[in-house]
A and B are shown apart, each in its own frame.
Chain A
Amino acid sequence: MTVRAIDRTSSASPTASRARPSYLAGRVALHVITALLALIFTAPFFFSISTSLKSTTELHVFPPIIWPAEPRPYNYVRVFEVVPYGLFYMNTIIIAVTATIGNVICAAIAAYGFARFRWRGREICFLILLSTLVLPEEVVIIPKFLMFHIVPEFLFGYSWINTWWPLILPSWIGGGAFNVFLLRQFFMQLPRDLDEAATIDGAGPFRILWSILLPLTQPALATVAIFSFLAHWRDFIHPLIYLNSREKFPLSLGLRWFQQLPLEAAEPREHLLMAAALLMALPCIVLFFTMQRYFVRGIVMSGIKG
């Protein structure tokens, strides 16, 4: 179950052929091909950034201007003036952070139950958990919507449609099958002697989870937190279904709303749309750069379940 360090490059090429000129040609070709492919993948970023820095007069020009003569970083500020992007940002942060906290707490507790105790039905429950990993959420989206509409109305007298409850509550009840699975795998790797020693010292199961297992699985918790945060940051279909008033929109809906705004006096705003889209993607990219190793580990762990 150990995750291999991904940075290790394999030594597939045998040393015997190293001296041949064809070896050198092969190395050069390899770098050229990889660089060309990387260029294709990076080009959309370049053109988007370039567009986001253009003036309105530079937008509708053919052939397109590759890089604006006077880049306008002010466009990024304009986004916040033209649409309530600051509010959308705040909403997204609140939703994503609250849901992430729920996911981590809930998944850690459930994973502990799966990893450390024997109970009748555990194996069958774990198999069901694994199968829900590939179950498309779209299959249950309608009854969930109806449930969040009807049940709170019955209980509290008002529907939860157009509130953040449907976006956050499922994280606090369930924790996400993938997160439970991931943390269970990590808990299983920790020796049981730790628990037994603590039990002898008089620690109860909550205490063992809190002071022994969780501190030792911090990297795994970080992985769960990152993936959960990203999933909620990028989530589109749930906000789309549940929210309809603009002041509750997260970025995903806010950006689409901006995209669909009727054009006033035909003023071009593609540069601002580009800036807005990049502003939405930026935190994901920053998170990746600061937390790279947790990313790779989480993805590789998800592949191991196959």
Chain B
Amino acid sequence: MAVRLQAAPGKQRSLSRAARREELYGWLFASPWIVGFFLFTAGPMIASFYLGFTEYSIANPPKWVGTANYQKALFGGDAQFWPSLGRTFMYAGMIVPIGLAGSLLIAVLLNQKLRAVALFRTLFFLPSLVPVVASAVLWQWLFQPDFGAINGLLASVGVKGPLWLSDSRSAPASLMIIALWGTIGGSTMIIFLAGLQGVPTELHEAASIDGAGAAQRFFRITLPLLTPTIFFNVVIGLIAALKVFEVALVATKGGPNFSTWFFILHLYQTAFQNIEMGYASALAGVFFVIVVTLTAINVHFSRRWVYYEGEERQ
């Protein structure tokens, strides 16, 4: 499944004319991406690294303050730094496993011999097409405590529903429900489905002849063969969850009482509402380190549980 890179060209000192022309064309054609990378990714990252050590409010030029911004963040100078980080981790820690399990469950169901499988697949996929702003607005009304559909349904079975988005105890969970609705049946599920269809049926047939039940076949054959797909979805899903911002801004504005004030929301507020570009760049730096570290941890531990076909194990 890994992308194959072609062998590096030989180390000839003097390239032939044709090779030199090929070299030129290569650079020329790839240049849109290369220029874009330096202009919109590498350059800004360097600038961000520098700005993280300054105080900058746009009106005045950046003023070098050394590590003051990082000290402020880490050692209590910012009342919302650690809480927003904690909330974000809590959110990701809940939503990634639930989301993956949900996507996998639906993919497994859709991989069975179902009637109207195309219809079901479409129904599960539709919520992921709704723009996040739109789904935040829709769910705000569904979650409305007095007249909303959800508390209406709960009342019909005799349960008094919570205040959902309007209560700091239930708001984070409510946002998770909105996010899960929009992601479980989406691309993660489709990728799982493609992975499931790559599991050779002969293995299943051989195992069932040997007397393995459906559950045993799933956990002993399907799941191990699916680990590269699971790994991919864990990495992508974790990064996406850590970035949670839009749904919180639109549905709760980070409230009530900061209960949905996530890290990127804090970054946005610091940079674009309080115009503290220097300190916000330090926050972006922290976020970058977190994402890189967590991805590295993921990759490191993947060696223990991800199985690639044709790979030899010691």
Interface residues of A (CB under 8 A from B): 3-4, 6-14, 16, 27, 30-31, 33-35, 37-38, 41-45, 47-48, 51, 59-64, 106-107, 109-110, 112-114, 116-120, 122-123, 125-130, 132, 134-136, 138-147, 149, 170, 173-175, 177, 180, 185, 205, 209, 230, 233-234, 236-237, 240-241, 251-252, 255-256, 259, 270, 273-274, 276-278, 280-281, 284-285, 288-289, 296, 299-300, 302-306
Contacts and interface: CB of A to CB of B under 8 A. Distances in A.
Contacts of B198: 4
Contacts of B190: 6, 296, 299-300, 303
B118 interface: yes
B219 interface: no
Given A37-B106, A136-B239, 14 more contacts: A12-B204, A48-B141, A114-B33, A116-B29, A132-B41, A135-B41, A136-B288, A142-B284, A143-B44, A143-B48, A144-B40, A205-B29, A240-B249, A280-B133
B111 A134 contact: no
Contacts of A14: 204-205, 208-209
23 contacts: A4-B194, A6-B190, A27-B113, A37-B106, A45-B127, A62-B147, A113-B31, A116-B29, A118-B6, A123-B6, A134-B239, A136-B287, A138-B264, A139-B48, A139-B291, A146-B47, A146-B277, A147-B44, A177-B33, A255-B133, A285-B129, A289-B122, A304-B1
Contact of A9 (B111, B264, B284): B111
What are the 9 A-B residue pairs with the smallest beta carbon separation, nearest first? Answer: A174-B36, A113-B29, A306-B232, A119-B26, A117-B26, A113-B30, A303-B191, A143-B44, A110-B33
Contact of B9 (A38, A120, A177): A120
A11 B113 contact: yes
B295 A134 contact: yes
Nearest to A205: B25
A117 B125 contact: no
A254 B109 CA distance: 38
Interface stretch (B70-78, B92-100, B149-157, B164-172): B149-157
B124 interface: yes
Interface string B74-109: 000000000000000000000000000000001001
A10 B288 contact: no
A42 B126 contact: yes
B134 A280 contact: yes
B131 interface: yes
Contacts of B199: 10
B44 A31 contact: no
Contacts of B34: 110, 125
A146 B250 CA distance: 24
Contact of A139 (B134, B231, B284): B284
A107 B131 CA distance: 24
Question: How many of chain B's residues touch chain A, expressed as a range?
Answer: 35 or more
B284 A141 contact: yes
Contacts of A35: 120
B181 interface: yes
A136 B295 CA distance: 12
A305 B5 CA distance: 12
Nearest to A8: B197
A61 B5 CA distance: 62
Given A110-B33, A117-B26, A125-B30, A138 B287 contact: yes
B107 to A, nearest CB: 11
B123 A38 contact: yes
A259 B252 CA distance: 12
B28 interface: yes
A30 B109 contact: yes
B112 interface: yes
Contacts of B27: 113, 119
B65 interface: no
Contact of A129 (B33, B48, B126, B147): B33
B186 to A, nearest CB: 8
Contacts of B228: 306
B212 to A, nearest CB: 10
Interface in B155-194: 155-156, 181, 184-185, 187, 190-191, 193-194
Contact of A62 (B135, B155, B250, B280): B155
A109 B112 contact: no
B244 to A, nearest CB: 11
Given A9-B114, A10-B199, A303-B232, A140 B40 contact: yes
A199 B29 CA distance: 17
B33 A180 contact: yes
Given A120-B23, A255-B133, A114 B30 contact: yes
Contact of A175 (B36, B45, B205): B36
A130 B33 CA distance: 12
A126 B137 CA distance: 40
Given A47-B149, A64-B148, A139-B45, A10 B26 contact: no
